[in-house]
Amino acid sequence: MKLKLLLSAPVLLVSALSLSGCVFNEESENIELENAYKNDAYTQEFAKTYEGTGKVLIEEFSDVECPACKNFAPTYERLEKAFAENKNVEFRYNHFPLESIHQYAYAGALAVECAGRTAGDEARTKYLHLAFAEKKLSTNFYRELRKNRTIGFTEKQQEEFLTCFNDKKTSNIVKNHKAEGEKRGLMGTPTVYINGEQYKKARGYDALFLEINSKLK
């Protein structure tokens, strides 16, 4: 029997917390969470209930400095491509910087957010690949990475990236993602939920593909 991809039923998928993931120390985590940027449609999506909407939302809560997130990234990208033509499936990358163990994770989250806002998901993916490959991280590295030709920013887009990076609205978006993850009880990255429940099975491509497909009825 062939797998059916163009069907409709609600699903919420986020990436699963495994024992091999990156975990933060709650005792040393002391971040003041600001209110979300209320006029941003992206952050407002968290408040919606997807049950009954006929949409499939696939989310990953990730930390750009987390080795487990780096390892999971190719699987997430393959899933995005596999379901790219299905209008009922939406992918979303969420930030969960583990600042107590990753010094520049917050700056990295700002940068990844801005790469996507400046030139779309493809630019965000290229930016992530380069960030994951770097060993000597700093806030300045994340700013200067905008100039890498692999990403393909124009000079105007490079300026837009910097404006975004320094904008309080971007900071609020990242903090809102972190607050949402904490509300769901996330302790590390990467993390996956399916239909609002944490996905605790294997995070391999085949397992996740079949799990998503099984919800499309």
Q: What pLDDT does residue 37 have?
A: 36
**What confidence tens digit (pLDDT) does each residue in 72-93 have?**
999 999 989 998 888 888 888 8
Q: Delimit the domains of the chain by residue range.
A: 11-19+55-205
Top-level CATH class of 11-19+55-205?
alpha beta
- What's the pTM value of the predicted model, to 2 decimals? 0.76
pLDDT of residue 26: 39
SS (H, E, C) the chain: CCCCCCCCCCEEECCCCCCCCEECCHHHCCCCCCCCCCCCHHHHHHHCCCCCCCCEEEEEEECCCCHHHHHHHHHHHHHHHHCCCCCCEEEEEEECCCCCCCCCHHHHHHHHHHHHHHHCHHHHHHHHHHHHHCCCCCHHHHHHHHHCCCCCCCHHHHHHHHHHHCCHHHHHHHHHHHHHHHHCCCCEECECEECCEECCCCCCHHHHHHHHHHHCC
The pLDDT score that the predictor gives to residue 17 is 39
Positions of the chain with pLDDT lower than 50, given as ranges: 1-19, 25-44, 47-52
